[in-house]
Amino acid sequence: MAVTVRIPPALRSLTEGSDEVSVDGGTVRAAIDALEAAHPGLKERVMNAEGKVLRFVNLFVGEEDIRMLDGLDTELKDGDDVSIIPAIAGGR
């Protein structure tokens, strides 16, 4: 199950600058685990030690917020697009 994970600018130092990474994963949780295996350190920027998505990070599958789906257990299909959208503060 190949899916594309879109990496926000704040996390690209962990993906050698790549803004998207292709991983295998049948659920969002599995995709994040695969992402961690390929790019260690990414998971802790998305999830806490209890395995929950950090409160100031949003995950989308396509256009859908996973909160409105099945959370980390949201199933993925081949070609899906997972976006990580963290809070960004800048603006001045």
Partner 1 sequence: MSELGAKTVLLVGAGGLGCPAGLALARAGVGRLLVVDDDTVEGTNLHRQILFGEADLGRPKAVVAAERLRAAGARAEAHTTRFLPETAASLLDGVDLVVEGSDNFPSKFVVADGCALGGVSVVQAGAVRWGGWALAVQASGAGDEHRTCLRCVFEEVPSGPVLSCELAGVIGPVVGVLGALQAKLALALLAGEAGGALYSYEGRRDRLRLTHPAPRAECPHALGAIDDLERIDYAPSTASA
* # chain residues binding partner 1, by CB under 8 A: 27
List binders of partner 1 among 18-37 (CB under 8 A): 19
Out of 37, 52, 70, 73, point to the residue binding partner 1 (CB under 8 A). 52
Which tokens in the block code for residue 7?
């990496």
Q: Is 25 exposed, middle or buried (0-12, 13-18, 19+ CB in 10 A)?
A: buried
Any residues with CB less than 8 A from the CB of 57 and at least 6 apart, and which? 45, 46, 84, 85, 86, 87
Out of 4, 15, 69, 83, point to the residue binding partner 1 (CB under 8 A). 83
Residue 69 binding partner 1, by CB under 8 A? no
Which tokens in the block code for residue 83?
């976006």
* Interface positions with partner 1 (CB under 8 A): 6, 8-10, 19, 45, 48, 52, 54-56, 58, 60, 63-65, 67-68, 83, 85-92
